Structure formats: C-alpha cells, structure tokens
Structure 1
Amino acid sequence: MLYSEDEKEKIIKQFLPKIKHHALRYHNIVHSVIELEDLISAGIKGLLEALNKYNPSLNVPLASFIEYRIRGAIIDEIRSLDVFSKEYRKKVEDLKKAWKTLKESGKEPTDEELATSLNITPTELQEIYQSITASDVIDLDNPVITHQGDKLNLSEVISDGKDIFEDISFRELKERLTAAIESLSEIEKIVISLYYYEELNMKEIANILGVSLSRVSQIHGKSLLKLKNFLENSLIEK
C-alpha cells in the first residue's frame, strides 16, 4: 500500500510517543554510547520501513506491525555500534559458564561462589551483572531458533503482549519461562515485571524501589543471566 507524504507525516505524529517510549527505555541502558535523538531517528526509519513492507494479507494489525518494526530498528541501531570489547564479552561468557557449572550441583550458585569460581571480587561481579543489562537487553530481541526451526523472542515471551508470530511452541516456552520467573527472588521478579510488563524504564524503576540506577541494572543483569540460562536449557530439552 502506498502512502502520500502527508499520510506518512500524520502516521509519524501518531506513533511518535511510542517511538520516544521505546527509545527512552533502551537509552537508559546505553546512554553512554548513543544519543536519544539517534534512537528516535532509528525508530522513525523503522516506522517508514513498516509502511513500505506491510502486507494486509498477513492478518496482522498495522499498528502491531509498525511497533514491532520500530523496536527492531532501534535495536539494530544499538547493535550496529558493537561497543562491547572482546575483554568484556569474555567476562560475560566466563560468568555464564561458571553459573551453569555451579548450577549443575543442584542449587542456585551464590554471588560469593561465583566470585570465587571466577577469581574476582564481589564488586567486579556486580559490575559484570550491570554490563549484562546493556548487552543482553538487546540480545533478548534476537530470535532464538528451536530444534523445530521456530523463531522465538525472549522479550516477547516475558512481556504480556500478544506476539504477532505466536504459535504452539511459543506458548509452551512462555509457560516454562513463567515458571522460571517465579523462581527468581522477590526483588528480581519486581524488576522484571516493572521493566517488561509495565514497560517502565530503569530510572523509573530505581525511583520506585528507592535504589540507585546502577543497583537496578545489577539486579536486572543477574535476572537475565538466570532467564537466559533457563531458556537455553528449555530449547535443549525440546
């Protein structure tokens, strides 16, 4: 379907609050490496691409398709920066491996056990948790391929909204992940709920909980580590 310039401008104005909403949520995580205006511009670009690619025969509401493309364009803009060094990536991978190894003992590893296993200080461990928030929030929107070839997005599984690509495999995984979220600590569940269900940004969550922004990032990062580990194990079992 072709849109005139006036129609495009009208649609941009209509969705601009939603674009700013998604841009701000991600900007609170990666504010040190990219400007908010750049993310908003990426969101507008995603909207225009959605208008060009939308196919009514898919039986997907235009608004849902547009929002999906807006968020995807913002994520692509951040991902293109590749701001995470090899040293940083190694630290995160080492933490994930240590988590899995210690978890095999049958209980959730403590921060003290993880720090000892990695031969780092508790402060350094918290810094890695905080960094995971920056990388894995973006990674959450990467599709995970199951053995059946299904594409699943963890952020869509966590959120309460209806995924436009929802299928039986998706619903099964959502049930498993819901159980995983229930296994989180109370503070972790609150942060996950406020960020993914209520769609608050990190600064708003920090104000609600009465803690620092860095503390929210740490809690969020640790929660993602647990959930991603659960997701990987679920896909292996399928």
Structure 2
Amino acid sequence: MPSKEDELLWQRYIDSHDPIGKEAIVRRYLPLVKYVVARMAVAPPSGMDYEDLVSFGTMGLLDAIDRFEPERGFSFQTFAVPRIRGAVLDELRKCDWFSRTGREKLQRLEKATERLLVQGISLDDETLKNELDIDDRSYREMLELASRGYMVSLDEVMALEEGDVQKGDLLADPGLSAQEMLERKEDIERVVSVLEKLPERERLVVSMYYLEELTLKEIGLVLGVTESRVSQIHGKAISTMKSRLKTRG
C-alpha cells in the first residue's frame, strides 16, 4: 500500500499536472530506477557508463508516471518496473550492445538445450558440453554470456508470492485487453511451472537472486563458490527455462 506521503504526492500531481509536481514524483522514485538498473546486471556498451543506463531508465519512469492511474489501486512500483527495464533495453538494443558473436553463441546454447529437452535427456553440464562439442572453458564462458545476455527477469513472477494485490499489479496495464491480461497471467503461470522443474542448485540461485534479492557475489558466499560460478549457474538456469518455455509452445 502507498504511504500517505505518496498518496498526497500523486494527488497534487493529478490535480494540477504541473511540472513541479511531476519533478517531485521523479525524485521520489529515482532510487527505484537505480535499483532496477543495478539488478539488470548489464555491462554498459563502450562509451557509456552506469549513469547513462540510469538516464534510459528515467525515461521509462517518466512514461510510467504519465500512464499510471492511482485510482485503480495498484502499486506504482510494480507498474513502473517493467517500463523502466524496457526503456533501458530499448536503448541498449539501439546501440547493438550485444555482439553478433554473442547472439550466435546464445542461439547455439538454446538449440542444444532444446534438442536435449525434446529427447528427454538430462541437462547436466557434461551432457551439454558434449552436445555443443566444446571444452570446459568455452562452456563456462558461454554460460556467463547467457547470464548477462538473457534480458529476462523473474521479478514479476516472484511477485506472485506476495499475494493478490501484487498479482493484480502485474497484469495492470491500461493498454491491455481482457484477453491480453488472461494471456499474460497464463504466461506467468507457465514460467512458475518451469522454474519448479529446475535442479535444486539452479532453483536456489534463481530464488536467492530474484526472491531474496541477493547479488551474484552474495550468493557465491552463501554457496561457497565464486561469483563467476554463480553467474554460470544462473545462465544455465535461465537458458533451460527459456528453452523449456519454447518447447512447450
């Protein structure tokens, strides 16, 4: 539930729609932009830095402010997060931040994972390495690439754990039809189902990262492994989930 202070902030802006009121809301939620950008674990392209990503995210925040309807009773934070993240990704795509070689490697990993899933073969590291016909070092590099390169987030999925209000927030978008809202709900349920099928360690990493909001470094300390190894586990988990969702159609 929004605080009384937030309610007053929004009410003043709705009543006047003046630039000063909008600026106050931007200042109030700028930490949310920085939080979202920090958790995306995206390395800025050459010539850019963290502040550039925050600027992109702020554009998403402005869009969310313009589109938000407080009378619906939904949380602004949950409404804004996908738009903040989307604004950052849109700008990164314009910069072609992910190299062609990187995309080709991810496609190889996805196709190999899908082939094994279709055959009902266990997705352990050795099996994947053999299927890809690469050595251990190349395999680890590919998983770290997957961890950075898959621009998906389970924040919305994990928010379902918080109850009906959060669930409503996830589906709240003035531009969605009833059919589109139903399809989004079904998509979320499919992701949850796939998440539950991950091996214990991969599920644990995903849970700690998205539910407990630990960094990869902090997860490494908990599991007694390096941050790089956590990145690899995370990459494999997301790759597997993505492939399972695709093969399930």
Aligned position for 2:171: 164
Residue identity over aligned pairs, in percent, reads 35
- Which contiguous aligned blocks of 4+ residues in structure 1 show a shift greater than 6 angstroms? none
Aligned position for 1:195: 209
Aligned position for 1:177: 191
Aligned position for 1:150: none
Higher mean displacement: 79-88 or 116-125: 79-88
TM-aligned CA distance change 1:6 to 1:208, over 3 Å: farther
Q: CA deviation at 1:159?
A: 4.4
Q: CA deviation at 1:132?
A: 0.8
Structure 2 contact 118–247 (Cα < 8 Å) conserved? no
Q: In the aligned structure 2, how far is the partner of 1:158 from the partner of 1:107? A: 28
- Alignment equivalent of 1:82, drawn from 87, 96, 103: 96
Q: What SS is found at the alignment partner of 1:177? A: helix
TM-aligned CA distance change 1:134 to 1:114, over 3 Å: same
Structure 1 contact 157–170 (Cα < 8 Å) conserved? no
Aligned position for 2:228: 214
The alignment yields a C-alpha RMSD, in angstroms, of 2.7
Taking the TM superposition and a 5 Å limit, the aligned residue runs for 1:1-238 are: 3-26=17-40, 28-30=41-43, 33=46, 34-55=48-69, 60-136=74-150, 138=151, 140=152, 156-160=156-160, 161-162=166-167, 163-165=170-172, 167-234=181-248, 236=249
TM-score if structure 2 supplies the norm length?
0.75
TM-aligned CA distance change 1:20 to 1:208, over 3 Å: farther
Q: What SS is found at the alignment partner of 1:30? A: coil
Structure 2 gap ranges (5+)? 1-13, 161-165, 173-179
Q: In the aligned structure 2, how far is the partner of 1:192 from the partner of 1:4? A: 42
TM-score if structure 1 supplies the norm length?
0.78
Structure 1 gap ranges (5+)? 142-153
Q: CA deviation at 1:59?
A: 6.5
TM-aligned CA distance change 1:82 to 1:167, over 3 Å: same
Aligned position for 2:9: none
Q: CA deviation at 1:56?
A: 5.8
TM-aligned CA distance change 1:192 to 1:66, over 3 Å: same
What amino acid sits opposite 1:134 in the alignment?
A: R
Q: In the aligned structure 1, how far is the partner of 2:206 from the partner of 2:89? A: 19
What amino acid sits opposite 1:157 in the alignment?
A: V
Higher mean displacement: 96-105 or 118-127: 96-105
Q: In the aligned structure 1, how far is the partner of 2:118 from the partner of 2:188? A: 23
